[in-house]
Structure formats: structure tokens, C-alpha cells
Chains A and B, each alone.
Chain A
Amino acid sequence: EPEVTQTPSHQVTQMGQEVILRCVPISNHLYFYWYRQILGQKVEFLVSFYNNEISEKSEIFDDQFSVERPDGSNFTLKIRSTKLEDSAMYFCASSEARDGRYFGPGTRLTVT
């Protein structure tokens, strides 16, 4: 069964550095998403992406964040000038239509 994949599984970075989290959605899916889960907290929506543009974003998704689909398969989340509070598990998801999401395994981001 096709799955969403994410790399890396764990990223450690210093405060102020930029990170790029990568995702390969399921190939026939058209909608892509990023979610975040801070340790011990609920899964939070960051952004949705469709037709090569952001379709919806939460208030968490400020100018520090950006998303891109640089080619036909990858979907990336860039976090500029990381802060300690950006430490979290970041989940990519995709869906064929705008219904149930299929999630990747997540990237654990640790900002030191």
C-alpha cells in the first residue's frame, strides 16, 4: 500500500538556523498538508497546499514558515531562523480529495 514518506526522521539544529523538512506524498494525491505536534500536546494544523499554492494556513504558520513543491514528488516545509519552541514532531499528510488525510511517519525537530 502506498505511504507518505518523510525525511529526515530526526533533525537537530541550532537556534537561528534554517531547516527544510521533506515529504513525498502518495503519488495520486492532490492535497498536501503539514501538521505539528509539540511533545505532550495535540496535533495542530499548519498549512494545506493544492494546485501549487497554499489553500489554507493556521496562525502558527507565520512568515517564518514556507512550503514548496519543487518537483512532481517532493513537498517541503522550510522553517527559517528556528526557535526553541519550534521543537516538535512535524507530520506531512496527503489526501486524494479533501477528506481523510494519510500521514507520514513524522520528522522530530529538535532546536537547541
Chain B
Amino acid sequence: AQRVTQPEKLLSVFKGAPVELKCNYSYSGSPELFWYVQYSRQRLQLLLRHISRESIKGFTADLNKGETSFHLKKPFAQEEDSAMYYCALLSGSARQLTFGSGTQLTVLP
């Protein structure tokens, strides 16, 4: 069965510091991975997907199949990046989306 692990429930960094939110997955097939962000009291928003290899709001994520990871990175964190971040895996013929438990990022001034 597929699983997504986000080992850090909480992560605090200072403004301007680099940030990395970890995500590991377990899936026997070819994974499609996403990062979603949820700002305070707002909806889950699609931040980026690995197949498009894009950079959104300065964030990037590289799929590492050897390490089964899809860590989210940003070189210089901003206070407005403070939010809940969820890694998600799309898998199977049913294309089910499985979420990790989320990491609450706080960027301190």
C-alpha cells in the first residue's frame, strides 16, 4: 500500500534562512508527487507537482526515486511562507491521492 511520511510536524526557521520540508514515500509503482500548502484558515492549494518541475513562490522539489523522497526546498524563507505543507502521492489505477500528515512551517522575523 502507498504511504507518505512527513517526519517533522513542526518546523521553524528565521526569515532569509533556507528551509527544507521532508517527504518520503512508499509505493511500488511509478509515483506522482505533489506539495499542497494551506495558509491559516484557507483552502488546500496545489503548490507544485513533480512532473512539471516548476518553481512556485521560490519553492522547488526534486523527486529522488533512489531515496524515495520529494523534499520541498526554498533558499530564503519569507514570513508569508508560514503555513501547513502537505506532501501527497497520486497512485494506482484509481489515481488515489494519499496525503502525509503535514508540516507546520513557521518563519520567524
Contacts and interface: CB of A to CB of B under 8 A. Distances in A.
Interface of A: 3-4, 33, 41-45, 48, 55-56, 91, 93, 98-106
B98 A105 contact: no
B43 A105 contact: yes
Contacts of B94: 48, 55-56
7 contacts: A3-B43, A42-B86, A43-B86, A43-B99, A98-B90, A99-B32, A100-B34
Given A45-B96, A45-B98, A98-B95, A103 B90 contact: no
Nearest to A91: B44
Interface in B43-69: 43-46, 49
Pairs of residues from A and B, 4 with the lowest C-beta to C-beta distance, nearest first: A98-B95, A103-B44, A56-B94, A43-B99
Contacts, number: 47
- Per DSSP, chain B at the interface is strand
A89 B32 CA distance: 25
A103 B49 contact: no
B30 interface: no
Given A91-B44, A100-B46, A101-B46, A45 B97 contact: yes
